[in-house]
Structure 1
Amino acid sequence: MITTLTSIITARMLGVEGKGELSAILFWPTFIAGCIGFGLPTSLIYNLKQDSSRASDYLRLSILFQIPVSILAGVVAWFGLPIWLSEYSATAVRLAQYYTVLTVPLLLAVNLLSAIAQSLDKFNIYNGIRLNVPLFNVIGLIVLWLLGSLSLTSSTNIFLLTTLLVVTYSVVSLRPYVSMGLRGNPIDRTAVKPLFGYGMKVYAMELLGTLYNQFDKIIIVALLTPRDFGLYSVVFALSRVFNTVQTAISNVMFPKVTGMEHDKIIRLVARAFRISMTVMAIVVVPSMIIGKFMLGLLFGPEFLEASSTFYLLSIECIIGGGSWVLASSFNAMGRPDLVLIRQLIAISITVALFFVLAPMYGLFGLSLALVIGAVVRLAITLFQIPRVFKVPLRSIVFDKGDYTFMVQTIKQKISGKGDRPHEKHESHSSNG
């Protein structure tokens, strides 16, 4: 909701083309940070769950590795952005250079700090990191709006300041754990192999995930106009509202089930997949209708030309979110290579469709390619799981005990009794 409000303010004040330029500026640090994470945040979660006594070594290795990486990425971005943004104004290009160089190391730090919070089950801090970024953004933008000073430059500065504040908040909140990574004691070199070994296993998968999730923006920058980017950024952000439940589940599921026995992992992950998909399937149709109405009312009638793109992106969001919930089972059991196979196939199909459909149908073709890619990812995952976990496909996609589980969970939460109903009521599931 806060992200949508941010889009409304920037779209109303900057217009479609100005919104497109701002989206291009904000896009590059996120994309670059996703490409150079080298799987370290995920590896931190996995290894800290396996052996928390080596937290100091894992943290220091991660920090020391990503400092030079971020510097190198900043140099490449500084000289590359004028080429990559050749169709954009000189002001937008210069802002993108400064913003990218300063923000990439901050985003890498946010990813590491989020991983620490997740691995320690400090989800209040993790939620604070996720909430404070858009919250501080929208507060800053509202202040600029009221002062009549909202522009491309001032908006970019607000986003940079927000990221810096959130990093500071995270370091203070996790001070006892971050300080372990800054101690001057010699690093145990035996920590290198598990940290970077698992990190490189998941890095290929995460890199493909980043390319898959961001390649649509790259295509827009390369083949379409700033106006197209403005339209797309608005409907894309609005469609991501449908992914809220599944994103929350995915972010909690991996650190929660890592280290469990395989049969318990699949029971919990499959249940989360079924319930989230059912809820979102019920919600999506009326919400899409309301979403189109809100698109014109809040953002302006000029954004209605992208309404068909909004419909497709909403469907893609739910299907893709469900596939990531299921994929957390492979990461938790130390088999990220299976997710890598899925991503390789899906991204190959989707990128090929981008180059075919985007020139023909513009944003609609782009979003259609994403829907097809999401269906491919889900289909491959549903094909893999029964063979890896030795369970029938039917038990993954259907369980009559889910309704009973949901009712009992809601009752327990209302009464304030128990935090983990799955541990008490697994007997209601035909899977366990």
Structure 2
Amino acid sequence: MANEQTGSLRRRLFSGKSGASSVSFVFIANILIQGGNFLCGIVTARAIGPTGRGELAAMIMWPQFFAYALTLGIPVASIYKIREEPEKKGMVAGATLLSSVLLGIVAIGVGLLLLPYALHTYQHHVVHTAEWLLLVAPQALLGLTLTVLARSTESFKTYSLFTGAQPVLILLCLLVEWAFGVLTPTNAAIAYLMANVPVMIINIFWVWRTFRPEWPRDPRLLRDLLSYGLRAWGSDILGTIANQVDRLLIVGMVNPKSMGLYVVAQSVSNVLLVIPNAVTTVLLPKVAARSTEEIVAFTGRAVRVTAALMAAASLTLILLGPSILHFAYSERFDGAAPILRLLLVESVIDGVTSTLGQAFLAASSPGTVAMLQGCGLLTAVPLLLLMVPRWGIMGAAIAFALSTLARFTFVYFSFQRRLGVKPPSLLLRREDLRALRRGRSRNPAPEIASSL
């Protein structure tokens, strides 16, 4: 009997036909991503030290930022539109892919204008390298679009394969550079930004075979994509800035060594994000364009499970964090331990907040998520400008944690105001665990929750 139950659970988790199965695949991919990033951080930290790690962060951060900040919200709009009108997925894919390349080219121009000012505290060779690396912006935006299209059709096995392979390839490139004694900040930056090219090429063939992209002949489709996209773009760009505002600001306010310590602490704390990233990746395409009751019911369960898992994991890392820093990164990074504790707490709040925010995207209310990100940004910037000059990177960690708490407060109380329903409970219930085990639910959205 026990073997039958175990076999049934295994089939539900890895059959690819349920929400639990989808989350399982994405969760495994996110473990590879976070684990790969963690190992990449160890390799680079040991090879180039805190100062070199700070220079590496400066070189790879800005090209990716400019690309992701100029999406116009079209990738996330494609998810909603494909779920709403699946018969037009070819035209949606065509419009989305074309826009990603064109907007990537725009990102290069914007980056060339702003980058010298953003990295004015760094040596000339760091700025010069970062400017050349802006050429990967179209590739970065195209890669983002390709993985989003896999999400839109709930092809989470494929999505997990593509996303999980990228950090593995980056790690292999870094290890080869290290073995041959050529692992410098510049070469490491090239590995980070270019190692995913083989995966992207395979992804292009998969998207072409699955969607048969075509020129969008329907003006209404373009109008709908742009309308939703521009409303979601506020969320995209503010979210991109909010998630990196600490790095974006302190990179010009502290020395490279301090930046390296902060980046390492943040890298360890980001291990927790494997949980909410897996959930939110599946959540939006599962509930997009459903009724408000169904969206909130499913989101509530996802939030409660996410919060419980992240809280348990964070306590473990708070206890083991200093030891991890010492043995994994070497004694040169022991100074990152106090910052790590604060960033772990911030990661838990951020994970819960991002999961709650999916309900508004699914209910065609992306403007609420944009205001959510704006709330965090308006809190973070003055706090960072006030605290970093006084307390350095510890002040940055405190400021970032307070801004994330402000975002959570805003999104939680927006359920009643924007959707007309009570916000979901954050406390894990016994029926949540039962539903995860049995694939059934007694909440107001049984056909949705049962898929989890």
Residue 16 of structure 2 aligns with which residue?
Answer: none
Please say which of residues 299-308 and 395-404 is displaced more in the overlay. Answer: 395-404
| Counterpart Cα distance in 1 of 2:216 and 2:344 | 50
For residues 25-424 of structure 1, the aligned pairs below 5 Å read 25-101=59-135, 103-177=136-210, 180-181=212-213, 183=214, 187-393=217-423, 395=425, 397=427, 399-406=429-436, 408-409=437-438, 421=439, 424=440
Residue identity in the other structure for 1:27: M
CA RMSD, aligned part only? 2.2
> Cα distance, 1:391 vs. partner?
3.9
Contact 2:104 2:137 in 1 (8 A): yes
CA distance in 2, matches of 1:206, 1:79: 21
Q: Matched residue of 2:289: which SS?
A: coil
Q: Would you say the 8 A contact 1:11–1:19 is kept in 2?
A: yes
Structure 1 alignment gaps of length 5 or more: 410-420
Matched-pair contact (CA < 8 Å) for 1:274–1:397: yes
Question: For the residues of structure 1 that align with 2:58 and 2:44, how far apart are their CA atoms?
Answer: 13
8 Å Cα contact 1:133-1:163 kept in structure 2: yes
SS at match of 1:363: helix
Q: Which runs of 4+ in 1 moved over 6 A?
A: none
Please identify, of 74-83 and 349-358, the stretch whose mean Cα deviation from structure 2 is larger.
74-83
Give the letter for the 1:386 counterpart.
Q
User: How many angstroms apart in 2 are the aligned matches of 1:427 and 1:371?
Assistant: 33
Structure 2 CA distance for partners of 1:93 and 1:394, relative to 1, 3 Å: closer
Q: Distance in 2 between matches of 1:116 and 1:247?
A: 17
SS of equivalent residue, structure 1 residue 401: helix
Displacement after TM superposition at 1:279 (Å): 1.8
Give 1:341 shift. Answer: 2.2
Give deviations 1:300-323, integer Å, cap 9, x for gaps: 112111211111111101101101
Cα distance in structure 2, aligned partners of 1:119 and 1:47 = 9
Preserved CA contact (<8 Å) 1:402 1:429: no
Aligned partner letter, 1:167: M
User: Per-residue deviation at 1:110?
Assistant: 1.1
C-alpha contact (below 8 Å) 1:263/1:389 kept by paired residues: no
Q: Is the 8 A contact 2:264 2:336 kept in 1?
A: no
**Residues of 1 paired with 2:184 and 2:271: CA distance?**
26
What corresponds to 2:36 in structure 1?
2
Alignment match, 1:425: 441
Distance in 1 between residues matched to 2:384 and 2:69, nearest whole Å: 20
Partners of 2:294 and 2:99 lie apart in 1 by 35
Question: Does the 8 A contact of 2:294 with 2:444 survive in 1?
Answer: no
Q: Is the 8 A contact 1:220 1:228 kept in 2?
A: no
Counterpart of 1:334 in 2: which secondary structure? coil
Percent identical residues = 25
Q: Write the letter of the residue equivalent to 1:13.
A: A
> Distance between the aligned counterparts of 1:212 and 1:427, measured in 2?
34
Contact 2:54-2:256 within 8 A present in 1 as well: yes
Residue aligning to 1:415: none
TM-score by length of 1: 0.90
> Aligned partners of 1:173 and 1:354: how far apart in 2?
43
Asked if the contact 1:117/1:125 (under 8 Å) is kept, the reply is yes
Residue 400 of structure 1 deviates from its aligned partner by 4.1
1:25-44: CA deviations, max 9, x gaps?
Answer: 11012211121011011000
